[in-house]
Amino acid sequence: MGGTAAGAFAVAAAAAYVAILLLLVPFGAHRMLLLWRRLGKPARPASSRWEGPLPVVTVQLPVYNEANVVARLIDAACSLDYPPERLEIQLLDDSDDETSRIAAARVAHWRRLGRRIEHVRRGGRQGYKAGALAEGVRRARGDFFLVLDADFVPRADLLRRILPPLSDPRVGMVQAAWSYLNTGSGWLTRAQELLLDAHFHIEHEARYRSGLFFNFNGTAGMWRRECIEGAGGWRAATLTEDLDLSYRAQLAGWRFVFLADVDVPSEIPMGMSAVEVQQARWTQGGVQTARMLLPRIWRSRLPLALKAEATAHLAGHAVHPVTLLLGVALCAVAFSGLGREWLPGWLHAFGLAAATVPFVAFAATAGVLRGIPLRRLPRRILEAMALGIGLGVPLTFAVLRGATLRDTPFFRTPKRGSRTVRRYRVPQRAAAPAALRAVLGGSLCGAAAVLVGRGALGTAVLTALFAAGYVATTWELFRGERVDPEENQEGDVDEEAYGQRLGPAPRRRVRIQAPVREKHRPAEEQPGSAAA
């Protein structure tokens, strides 16, 4: 009876392993398709000159309990190079700690210097960030809205560089890329940097060059008021109000522009708990948005290629459960005693390639595009792979929440800033993801040893990579939990590297009608875009 059970388990393990590898193939193929689009499509020109009188611009700064960075944010926003009479700044402050006191002092300082800045207090967090932005739009006089999250530190010339593409009346939003102030803080920030660079400089750029839908990233982007209101406005129906409004706006016919050569410095989360909170919010909100908007996308008259890419984009978080199941299957394969008669060598090689080659190609290309020295690139890719694998467990739970729950609290990502005023704790989450990841990490270490002893080196390498991802992220989480929550620490944010001048700017009139001396060229019309 025992032999029969063991044989059945071995057969089930082999079948599950093969099935999961096959499930990975479309995700890898989509990644390679994006890479081909990024490298094979020419860059799309956008207007680099604003024609006519400068518009009124509203800079929106949504914050909630950001004592460590709120002063830096206000100073940077008030130092933007734009005529003061055509610039208004809204600090949309839902805080319930000393953030509001710190902010009030900086707001008063800049008002004395002649800046038009409003400190908006709603008295509650109805609708979270979406609710704050909607309230700001209602009160604003601007025709365009630049949104900056609390951990972003724009350079003074940001408005001069991001506004010109909006001279095309068909353009509803312009997204800038992100750069990072604190990537020298350890492997965790370096891994996030590479993953985010791949998102912006491959995914965004590929979709933009191909005339496909892409999304506003919640910050470092400028919206046209008419686009926001015409698409139905900000709403808190999902945890990713940015993704939701982006797709509704593009479904309504608006074009988006991505400026890869314009970047806004920002702070990357430096602790594993903060990383998980941020990634889980993005994942859960992405699944919620997919559930709400995919039926509408498929009912529309959009080209099939655009519908397919929108589906791959919005449903892309399904890769997390598949990745988790692959880790479980690797354990099952190792401990079931399967021999070569069940899993031949070529299948092990296929499994290793299916799980790693598309990711490595994607990350390597992003690293090259962003100028990472080749000698450092292998380590950076391994760090990014370890983080991606380790996040697979908590993000699987986020996928399940997004697929089943409607109302979930909005947990914002804690920031440290250049000097920590308050050490914010990440809200307590369920212990199951952390426990499951730790158990899988230990099991996969044993599984890798078993596979090496059996001579299945290809699968052993893949298993060891999964083990490293689970163990490294578990250790980072454990290490972070040991820090005293009231400890006053200095952050590792390097503002000097960006030459930021965050003190009072001189009071002068600014002329930016022609920030770049280049003749206006409208963006090419692409199939599936609003211009087509």
Question: Residue 213 in contact with residue 252, Cβ under 8 Å?
Answer: no
Residue linked to tokens 């426990």: 435
* pLDDT of 124: 84
Q: Encoding tokens for residue 389?
A: 């694998």
In a domain, 358, yes or no: no
For residue 486, the model assigns a pLDDT of 37
Tokens of 23: 């499930």
Q: Is residue 26 part of a domain?
A: no
pTM for this structure? 0.87
456 in a domain, yes or no?
no
Phi, psi of 497 (to 5 degrees): -60, -20
> What is the secondary structure of 168-217 as a DSSP string?
STTEEEEEEEEEES-GGG-HHHHHHHHHHHHIIIIIIHHHHHTT------
Residue 94 lies in a domain: yes
d(CA 327, CA 319): 13
Q: Which of the following is catalytic: 151, 242, 244, 263?
A: 242
The pLDDT score that the predictor gives to residue 11 is 79
User: Reading across the β-sheet that carries 87-93, which strands appear in turn?
Assistant: 117-121, 87-93, 57-63, 144-147, 221-224, 171-180, 255-266
Is residue 242 annotated as a catalytic residue, yes or no?
yes
* 94 carries an active-site annotation: yes
- Domain assignment present for 449: no
Q: Please check whether residue 424 lies inside any domain of the structure.
A: no
Residue 174 in domain: yes
Q: What tokens were used for 349?
A: 């090689």
Please report, for residues 27, 73, 207, the alpha-carbon distance to residue 358 in angstroms, rounded to integers and kept in the order given: 9, 38, 18
pLDDT of residue 13: 82
Domain that holds residue 110: 44-271
Question: Which pLDDT score is estimated for 47?
Answer: 83
Q: What is the count of structural domains for the chain?
A: 1
CATH number of the domain encompassing residue 130? 3.90.550.10
Do residues 329 and 338 lie in contact, with contact meaning Cβ atoms separated by under 8 Å?
no
Other C-beta atoms within 10 Å of 104: how many?
Answer: 14
Q: What is the mean pLDDT of each successive set of 10 residues along the chain, which is 532 residues long? A: 66 85 94 96 88 94 94 97 97 94 97 97 91 97 97 96 96 97 89 97 98 97 98 95 98 97 94 92 96 97 96 97 94 77 72 88 96 94 96 95 79 68 65 92 94 83 94 89 42 40 38 32 34 32
Active-site residue, from 94, 149, 151, 197? 94
User: Nearest CA to 408 among 312, 286, 320?
Assistant: 286
**Residue 97 included in any domain:** yes
Helix (H, G, I), strand (E, B) or coil at 521: coil
d(CA 115, CA 128): 27
